[in-house]
Amino acid sequence: MQRKRIAIAAVAVAATGAAVAFTLPSMAGTNPSGGAPQSVAAGDVAPQLLAVMKRDLGLDGDQARARLKRAKWASGVSSTLAAQTGKEYGGAWLTKDGMTLKVAVTGQDQAALVKKAGAVPVLVERSAQTLDTAKQKLDEARSAAGDLTGWYVDAPTNKVVVVAQPGDTKSAWAFAEDAGLDMDAVAVKTAPRAKPLADVRGADPYIINNSARCSIGFAVQGGFVTAGHCGVEGDTTTDIDGGAQGTVQASVFPGDADMGFVAVDAGFADELLPVVNDFDGNLLPVAGNTEAPVGAPVCRSGSTTGTFCGVIQAKNQTVNYPEGAVTGLTQTDVCAEGGDSGGSWLSGDQAQGVTSGGSGDCTVGGTTFFQPVNEILATNDLTLLVSGGEAAPPAEEEPPADAAADCAGLPVNGQSSIGREGATQLQPQGGAFQANAGEQSACLQSPEGADFDLVLQQRTGQGFRTVATGEGENGTKTLTFNGQAGTYRYIVASTSGSGTYTMGISVP
């Protein structure tokens, strides 16, 4: 039996008894219009994707390229500003035109940093950290959410938004109040309740336990990622021809994510491709996994409806599915239908996530949520395969930089104090920050006569975990880390002595 290559094709699948949409491996060799999909070279935006963006967003080729380029720039600037402004950072978003980056901060000094970086500052009352803490209270109370649609932090309004079903805003206000939120920080909107986009149809691979079908999200070293509702740990998968394919190694749904990882058998290891099937005869390249900001254009591919584009509307949203609430999803105005679940999301050639669920359809439009791919990679220590034959940077520690480095010479720098031996501090400025995939570095100079440790942690679905530790002598610690895009924080800890230290950070 000849195996078909596993493209990160958003191929439709569904599981019996599950309410989420699935897709299948082995579909890279076919497409709805007939014939084999054609590969698209990496680099410029695939012309097929530009055509869909014109249809769905009304953008010509130059406008679409400009929007995607601006979104990538905004992602890097937002990451640096989040690190520079620390606990006074309030979030970032691109305006409706997709070209203006606004960054919320709680102080005038931070506003000056935003202007210097080429973005527009917005002074707000509440920091992102404050709003995230408020949202966490809602997550902890989710068992009392009833039929609410979900909730999320909305940076432009500087509030936590609770989404109720049409005609039932009273329950949303009561839910927020019972959870102990400051009601001045709450807004209520209405939208239909989302559901997983499952669709049971015959003969569409891949097959889970010889009964349910699901979709591939993206190829990674050793297998592929998909939605968490596409099987539980230990389930076996087969290809479209019924040949043994792999085993579900990780699955989360509902709860902290909708993420899954299938490890393929040895015979499939060389067949994993860093492309997405657009179901119109083309294979779109995947060149990386830089996370696009709110307001950026994004496109989804699924076997039921093909490829559609829209805009990212919100992040870190909790969606209250009938099966249970799922946290950390990204909201978009892209349509989807049953059978599209598990499929691939791209912003240009950058992987964004896998389809989770939504409401509406591609006739009248709708809202669709995806599970961010970077959280799947970080939680499961996976490496995304990218076009050009090379893998995305693995999350591993590199040799430390020169111990004599000048910490104040790094882009994000400053001083702080630890008052007693054994105490710790979070940096930058007591908070966490977003970083794109690539190399980041840090340097710590301890006060004279003291010795402080430096630790870098990355946030996963199970909380923060240590990914790198500073090394060095004579009171100076340095580290360099080459990892996936995600949320990070530094910990400075006094092992002996106290006093004022200097720290510098470089963010990719």
| Catalytic site positions | 229, 258, 341
Smallest CA-to-CA distance from 103 within 292, 291, 294 is with 294
Angstrom distance (rounded) from CA 236 to CA 4:
18
Q: What DSSP character marks residue 29?
A: G
The torsion angle over the Cα atoms of residues 441, 445, 450 and 455, rounded to 10 degrees, is: -10
Structure-block tokens of residue 504: 């510098």
Smallest CA-to-CA distance from 501 within 414, 435, 383, 397 is with 414
Angstrom distance (rounded) from CA 69 to CA 109:
28
Angstrom distance (rounded) from CA 158 to CA 91:
9
Residues 6 or more apart whose Cβ sits within 8 Å of residue 9:
23, 24, 25, 27, 28, 215, 216, 275, 276, 277, 279, 301, 303, 344
Residues 6 or more apart whose Cβ sits within 8 Å of residue 243:
1, 3
Cβ–Cβ under 8 Å, residues 296 and 348: no
Beta-carbon count within 10 A of 125 CB: 12
Structure-block tokens of residue 406: 């000048």
- 506 three-class SS: strand
Q: What is the maximum span of the chain, computed from C-alpha positions, in angstroms?
A: 72
Smallest CA-to-CA distance from 53 within 300, 225, 243, 294 is with 300
Angstrom distance (rounded) from CA 83 to CA 89:
8
Smallest CA-to-CA distance from 16 within 197, 198, 194, 195 is with 198
Residues 6 or more apart whose Cβ sits within 8 Å of residue 371:
227, 228, 257, 258, 259, 328, 329, 330, 353, 354, 355, 356
Angstrom distance (rounded) from CA 151 to CA 475:
46
Structure-block tokens of residue 55: 């249809």
Smallest CA-to-CA distance from 150 within 340, 364, 300, 314 is with 314
Cβ–Cβ under 8 Å, residues 214 and 226: yes
